[in-house]
Structure 1
Amino acid sequence: MANELISVLLPNYNGSAHLKETIESVLCQTYENLELIVIDDGSTDSSPQIIRSMREKDGRVRPVFLDKNRHICYALNRGLKEAKGRFIARIDCGDQFYPDKLALQMEYLLQHPECGACFTLVDLIDGKGTVINEKEKIVYQRYQQPNRTQTQWLYYFIHCGNCLAHPSVVFPKSIIDRVGPYDMAMMQGEDFDLWMRIALEAPLHIIEKPLLACLWDTGNPDKISDEAKDSNMTRFFNIRVEAVEKLFDHITDQQLIRFFQQEFRNSGSSSPLELECEKGFLLLNCFQDCPYFHYLGFKRLARVVNQPGGVELLEDKFGFSLHDLYALNMEHMYFDSVAFNDQAQKNQELASLKRQLEDQARQRQHEAALRTNENALLQNTIIAKNHELAAIRESTSWRVTAPIRKLRSRSQERRPVIYFVPSSDYGNLGDHKIMMEIRHFFRCYFPKFEVREISCRHYEEKRQELLCQVQNGDILAAPGGGSIGDVYLPYGEKYMRDMIQCFPNNQIIIFPQSLFYTKSELGEAERKNTAAIFDSHPDLTLALRDQNAYQEAKKMFRRTKLMLIPDIVLFSDPYLTKAPRSETGLLMIRSDGETSHPQGWNQELEEICGKYAKKIISTDTQKNYFIDLENRETEVNAVLEQISASKFLVTDRLHGMIFAAITSTPCVAFDNVYGKVFAQYQWIRDLPYLEIAESPEQLSDKLDRVLKAQTPVYTRKPLEDKYSELANAFRV
């Protein structure tokens, strides 16, 4: 191994309780050619004395004493200036290197000079040095990450935030010359910002074994990096947003195309204005769990529409109008006074409610004491009345009037309720059409059922209310779609899991689903979690919407009842329009993680489709805004009307193909990354105006076929037996 010097940076502020142990863990490394630069950031405890003492024992300790506390980024950047080594390592006060940490990381970095930063896994310890991985399982799991490509890391950082332990890193000092030092404006999250900048320039690597003990002592108020404190959470979240915005401010056009083209709404985007549009749409999707930060994308798109030709570009190339832009303002995009006052009011209401409940509890205790005496008196009366009741029930008149009492009882019964958790309120129109057809399904089979929806956005706030409302005999259900798997875990499956665990005594039915877990450590872990939770419920039925998912489910589940049922949107009545078909062709191609197609693919398809229509329009069933229940039908019918009035549709969206089926629109469909489109096609393969294609080379032949084929009015009759089977699963 080449004996390169490593500069280890240790910023410290009042960390005397653990400082000595941290320094010793660095000096005891099997890799000995290092300097430990301890930057004391104006400590007022005994830290300076400890640092000087350690310097006397080992000359590799280099103290840097700052005259006042300016926090971590200032200290780290001073350390970078002082560093003599070709490589930089980091450690925080309270953390401890395992003996071979630096040796293993240097071995990898010297063998892979292209690597921009090398990390390790970590163990969590408390202030006494005890490993607390199980106690702090959520935090521990966050740091147990697999290796990813540069593209995958950037996607993860943008959508999920940081997951790499800062004190575990070693990076070549030259990478700082390329991306710049720590951002001085950041008191937290400085590492997250740096990792994104490095990932744009070079690969990241994790040595998949714990080589660092990381202090995670939430009881220690002086620990700088403690994200668990409420006072730091808001700042950390704001910094995450700032870091993502800064990334898109500085990314070059070449980097944007290289790393994000597969999520472009228009894969052929290349001009500066087109790429600015793509940045806007990417930013709209970065924080789907928090609409307050949609303003990042809104700002960029607002700049586009004020550029010459910007409005027309968005309409023609992206299917995004000024009305769509205005709709983004329907959500609170800033934590403004309205939202703040609303939150303050809710806090006051909560405090008032708490006081009321405490008063009621005291009153009930008093009443309970009084009733104890009353109960003793009533008990004797009850015994006497039971004797009288027994005599009445044995009488002839009681037996004769039994049918009348039964009818009266039925008329007074509570209407049965089915709760759907979680229903869609995000921008996927396919999922909204699923809920429309579920309601249609119940009107046909169970007209007496009352259907109540709890949307994804409102699940957390409605959860307690739901626990109180659901009664024995009510049924809980999850809508169909593609929610089971690790791809969309934060948005759908986590709510299904919670529902299954909260209601063990109610029947639960999950409408027809796809099922897909990635071949990764995370995917396998989530697959096992789902299987265990689903199988724990004594009365759970899961409908799978294609044969692939059904066969996979049979391997995955042991107790869960399984059914093979077509996508519920195929339960639809035919969608008929009086408008004649135009000479416009529609192109509906994914730009998210489910696409299975190479770069430049959209442009090739558009050129082929252009031979069959006077105009080609790119459209989508995915909108960049939330859609409430009252607007659901209008939004869905708008896209159905667009498809119905077009000459043909080319798509790789499952519900794009199904929408073509129910509107009798000629359609050629490509598959998605895990095969759900082709698998669903097997249910409707007899429709003459639908074809599937495996590559662009087949598109012309397939378009010739569907455009010459008859387009009979859609009917669900061939699938009726399957939907009846689903209806029979409900115990009513």
Structure 2
Amino acid sequence: MQQPKVSVCVVTYNQENYIAECLQSIADQKTSFNYEVIVSDDCSTDNTPEIIKLFSEKYGFIKPVLRSKNVGAGANYFESHRLALGEYVCHCDGDDTFLPDKLQTQADFLDRNPEYSMSVHAAAVIGSGDIIGDSPALPEIASVTDLLKLGTYFIHSSVMYRRSCRHDYPLGFEAVDFYVHLHTAFKGPVHLNKSVLAGYRVHAGGVSSNPIYRDRIEKFYDAAYDLALENGISAALVRTAQIKRHLTFAFSRYFSGDVEGYKKRIKLNADEFQYASLLHKVLYWTRSMPVLMWCIKIARQIKNRKF
């Protein structure tokens, strides 16, 4: 096989119900170039490894990495991307899918626009009519400051980045995708294609929805904001974005039933107070008896109720 122009890194763990559809969607890509697919399984205990083996036997460009020991989602991600050989590198979670022209569309854009570090796109939420990343309010060209203000407004499986723009993370390094995207964007802007080029699956088995990982994920986000400060981004901008993210974490904890975690996350110290919204301040003042949060939760349930 010739040197691949694009590497697709698929990370998976116990996704026997989805991995075949994921890999088939990648194998069915219509491209004018060679591409490789690195499928990194984190020692699944279901039939995921067997399904990956079948696909690697059928398609020579699918390269399985079948771990004999569980290394965790973060290490599995970084180690799989470290193996990529392509000029451009895509990420795909093992339960998401690609539309047939995804790779060609993004590679063509990066070929035409060498100043960009990343290409991302809109994605349809599988099993619903929702689309992520197509809002008119979202910028088609985004800088580091845009990412700080907006957070990750695109799904991880939509990302194609230049391998030359990727930082060399040490073995054992862990972070959330927001950190990596932010770090990459220091080397060039991010382009958002608002066309749907992938399917995104939402379910309870995702890492971000697992309360076991919640503390670590929140710490990784704080590390991303520290990274921005270290690279000279305005402290006011960074801290405002960080405190806004803390409010989001607080809401998530409360809605999942972790009231004590909510009270802890909603707190504001003297330095943080100046960057917090009025809502955040009110919730902080009433944290010992979160009646307002109870009202917000009830209103949210009524809004989402299907009649």
TM-score when normalising by structure 2: 0.74
Contact kept? 1:143, 1:163, Cα under 8 Å:
no
Once residues 284 and 85 of structure 1 are traced to their aligned partners in structure 2, the CA distance between those partners, rounded to angstroms, is 36
Candidates 195, 202, 205, aligned match of 2:188: 202
Q: Secondary structure at the match of 1:73?
A: helix
Candidates 141, 164, 185, aligned match of 1:174: 164
Amino acid of the structure 1 residue aligned with 2:73: I
Query: Which runs of no fewer than 5 residues in structure 2 stay unpaired?
Result: 248-258, 265-272, 300-307
Alpha-carbon offset, residue 100 of structure 1: 0.6
Alpha-carbon offset, residue 147 of structure 1: 2.7
Q: Does residue 18 in structure 1 map to residue 14 in structure 2?
A: no
Alpha-carbon offset, residue 288 of structure 1: 4.1
* Corresponding residue number in structure 1 for 2:50: 49
* Corresponding residue number in structure 2 for 1:95: 96
* Corresponding residue number in structure 1 for 2:302: none
Contact kept? 2:89, 2:163, Cα under 8 Å:
yes
Residues 370-393 of structure 1: per-residue CA shift (max 9 Å, x gap): xxxxxxxxxxxxxxxxxxxxxxxx
Q: How many percent identity over aligned positions? A: 20
Q: Secondary structure at the match of 1:206?
A: strand
Alpha-carbon offset, residue 115 of structure 1: 1.1
Q: Does residue 246 in structure 1 map to residue 227 in structure 2?
A: yes
Aligned CA-pair RMSD: 3.5
Candidates 116, 134, 138, aligned match of 1:146: 138
Change (3 A) 1:55 1:202: same
* Corresponding residue number in structure 2 for 1:109: 110
Alpha-carbon offset, residue 204 of structure 1: 0.7
Contact kept? 2:22, 2:98, Cα under 8 Å:
yes
Q: Does residue 82 in structure 1 map to residue 91 in structure 2?
A: no
* Corresponding residue number in structure 2 for 1:581: none
Once residues 208 and 341 of structure 1 are traced to their aligned partners in structure 2, the CA distance between those partners, rounded to angstroms, is 36
Q: Does residue 162 in structure 1 map to residue 163 in structure 2?
A: no
Residues 685-704 of structure 1: per-residue CA shift (max 9 Å, x gap): xxxxxxxxxxxxxxxxxxxx
* Corresponding residue number in structure 2 for 1:458: 282
Once residues 69 and 215 of structure 1 are traced to their aligned partners in structure 2, the CA distance between those partners, rounded to angstroms, is 23
Change (3 A) 1:286 1:193: same
Once residues 455 and 285 of structure 1 are traced to their aligned partners in structure 2, the CA distance between those partners, rounded to angstroms, is 14
Q: Secondary structure at the match of 1:120?
A: strand
Amino acid of the structure 2 residue aligned with 1:204: V
Change (3 A) 1:183 1:148: farther
Query: Which runs of no fewer than 5 residues in structure 1 stay unpaired?
Result: 135-139, 261-278, 293-338, 345-425, 429-453, 468-493, 499-732
Once residues 9 and 293 of structure 2 are traced to their aligned partners in structure 1, the CA distance between those partners, rounded to angstroms, is 48
Alpha-carbon offset, residue 456 of structure 1: 6.0
* Corresponding residue number in structure 1 for 2:59: 58
Amino acid of the structure 1 residue aligned with 2:111: L
Once residues 59 and 246 of structure 2 are traced to their aligned partners in structure 1, the CA distance between those partners, rounded to angstroms, is 53
Residues 254-273 of structure 1: per-residue CA shift (max 9 Å, x gap): xx3xx64xxxxxxxxxxxxx
Contact kept? 1:73, 1:183, Cα under 8 Å:
no
Alpha-carbon offset, residue 165 of structure 1: 1.1
Residues 109-140 of structure 1: per-residue CA shift (max 9 Å, x gap): 10011110111101111xxxx2x244xxxxx5
* Corresponding residue number in structure 1 for 2:198: 212
Q: Secondary structure at the match of 1:458?
A: helix
Residues 448-475 of structure 1: per-residue CA shift (max 9 Å, x gap): xxxxxx976226845489x8xxxxxxxx
Contact kept? 1:146, 1:208, Cα under 8 Å:
no
Once residues 89 and 62 of structure 1 are traced to their aligned partners in structure 2, the CA distance between those partners, rounded to angstroms, is 15
Report 1 or 2 for greater relative contact order, CA contacts < 8 Å, sequence distance ≥ 6.
2
Once residues 65 and 293 of structure 2 are traced to their aligned partners in structure 1, the CA distance between those partners, rounded to angstroms, is 54
Structure (1/2) with the larger helix percentage: 1
Once residues 342 and 33 of structure 1 are traced to their aligned partners in structure 2, the CA distance between those partners, rounded to angstroms, is 49
Contact kept? 1:183, 1:190, Cα under 8 Å:
no
Amino acid of the structure 1 residue aligned with 2:91: R
Contact kept? 2:4, 2:36, Cα under 8 Å:
no
Tell me the number of residue pairs that the alignment of Structure 1 and Structure 2 aligns: 267
Alpha-carbon offset, residue 148 of structure 1: 5.0
